[in-house]
Amino acid sequence: MRLQALTLVLALAACDEADPEARALVARYGCVSCHEIPNVPGPRGNSGPPLTHMPRQVYVAGVAPNTPEVLARFIADPQAIDPRSAMPDLGVSAEEARIIAGFLLGIGG
Amino acid sequence: MRRSRRILGIGLAAILLAGAAVFSLGEFYNLTAIRQHPLWVFRGIALGRDALIGMEAEYVAVPDGFELRADPASAALYQKHCAQCHGAPGVAAEEFALGMMPVPSNLAAAAKRRPAQEVYWFIRYGLKMSGMPAWDMRMSEADMWRLTGFVGAMPGLSPAAYAELLEQAGELPDAIRPVAVEAGPLKTAIGSVERGRAAMQVHACRSCHLIPGIVGAPDVFVGPPLDEAGGRAYIAGVLRNTPDNMVRWIMDPQAVDPLSAMPSLGVSEALARDMAAYLYSLSSLDRSKAEPEGDEDR
């Protein structure tokens, strides 16, 4: 029991350690003004869907299979995945998008 | 005091023991579709089922002019919606149905022992945990009675006569098409909330979405959870959220966004309005009440 609690605390800490870069990017691009994102403070906007259970979603934006690559491509250029998407192209670079996608896919589980 | 406690204890133990015996002797632990029920379990289930259905079907009102009748249109309807599972005179069920448990009954035989009201009851409400689907809200009242009349006439139909009827009918009706469903009570501006919930249940919306008020698997995320669908700025990330757009989306998602993974489920406009009403009623921010602004399409 104590061991379990310890690993949980360690895991949470590790998660926090690995994330600051992704969190900084999410903050910089203002993703939370349109999305609810767990553990990222902000207005919890609802222009876009909540990003609270990305790992279990079958599709990205309801149109493409949810893989890390597709998710990153969508974040970098939403209209490349769905021309009709209402999410604006925020000018996120491919590398930044990869980091954010990794972060989102680590949320919720 | 001591005595009554002892009697209670013995009573509880007896109930538990009886439950365990039924569970193990009845082979309820075997969940496969190839292992049949022991005869006494089968008989017991059938007895209970028929007693309940008999009581409920008494309240089904048979419409004026109803008759047992096999014509080309009803044969086509039957071939389209029922023959895959139940077969037809001289026609086998589809392969998948042969492996169902319980195996779908031969309806010519069923029609010999069931009154029309019961046949109608099966068609409209289905039978839980048997594989018999409910057609409530997805088939018009007229078609359900037409099928009831056809099933009733089936014992008098030879294989050749059935084939002849299908021949005369020509093309079968479309795979999935909205039906004109009678408007329900409790109309609000955009639809009936409670009917919307029931309609979503019989259109399999819950197989892809989490929806408060509809029971299902806890972790389906094929589409987004619909608890806040009525409050988001966009529907499916592409359409401005207005009641009319919500109805448009529910009726034909791929006309709105051809890439969408949500298929059209043949929802009629009336029911789509009811579903929209239910979705707006769930959401903490009800956008159906917001003032329309700007371009309706975006």
Can you tell me the ipTM of this complex? 0.81
In this complex, is the C-beta atom of B285 within 8 Å of any C-beta atom belonging to chain A?
A: yes
The single residue listed with the structure tokens 């406690």 is B5
Asked if the Cβ–Cβ distance from A58 to B222 is below 8 Å, we say: yes
The single residue listed with the structure tokens 């079958």 is A58
- Distance to chain A for B264, nearest Cα, Å: 14
- Of A47, A57, A63, Cβ closest to residue B259: A63
> Tell me: the pLDDT tens digits for A18-77?
588 999 999 999 999 999 998 888 887 788 999 999 999 999 999 999 999 999 999 999
User: What local confidence, expressed as pLDDT, does residue B18 receive?
Assistant: 95
Measured CA to CA, the distance from residue B100 to residue B132 in angstroms comes to 11
Architecture of domain A19-104: Sandwich (2.60)
> Which SS3 state, helix, strand or coil, does residue A91 take?
coil
List chain B residues with CB under 8 Å of A50.
Answer: 224-225, 228
Is residue A16 over pLDDT 60? Answer: no
Minimal-distance CA residue of chain B relative to A80: B259
Contact B165, B72 (CB under 8 A): yes
- Name the residue ranges covered by the structural domains of chain A: 19-104
> Tell me: the pLDDT tens digits for B43-79?
999 999 999 999 999 999 999 999 999 999 999 999 9
Measured CA to CA, the distance from residue B94 to residue B82 in angstroms comes to 10
Is residue A12 over pLDDT 70? Answer: no
Residues of chain B with pLDDT under 70: 1, 173-190, 290-298
In this complex, is the C-beta atom of B224 within 8 Å of any C-beta atom belonging to chain A?
A: yes
User: What local confidence, expressed as pLDDT, does residue B280 receive?
Assistant: 94
The contact set of A with B (CB < 8 A) is 46-50, 53, 56-59, 61-64, 82-87
Asked if the Cβ–Cβ distance from B237 to A58 is below 8 Å, we say: no
Single-letter code of the amino acid located at A24: A
> Tell me: the pLDDT tens digits for B116-158?
999 999 999 999 999 999 999 999 999 999 999 999 999 999 9
Asked if the Cβ–Cβ distance from B237 to A46 is below 8 Å, we say: no
Q: Map out the domains of chain B with their CATH numbers.
A: 68-169 (1.10.760.10), 193-289 (2.60.40.420)
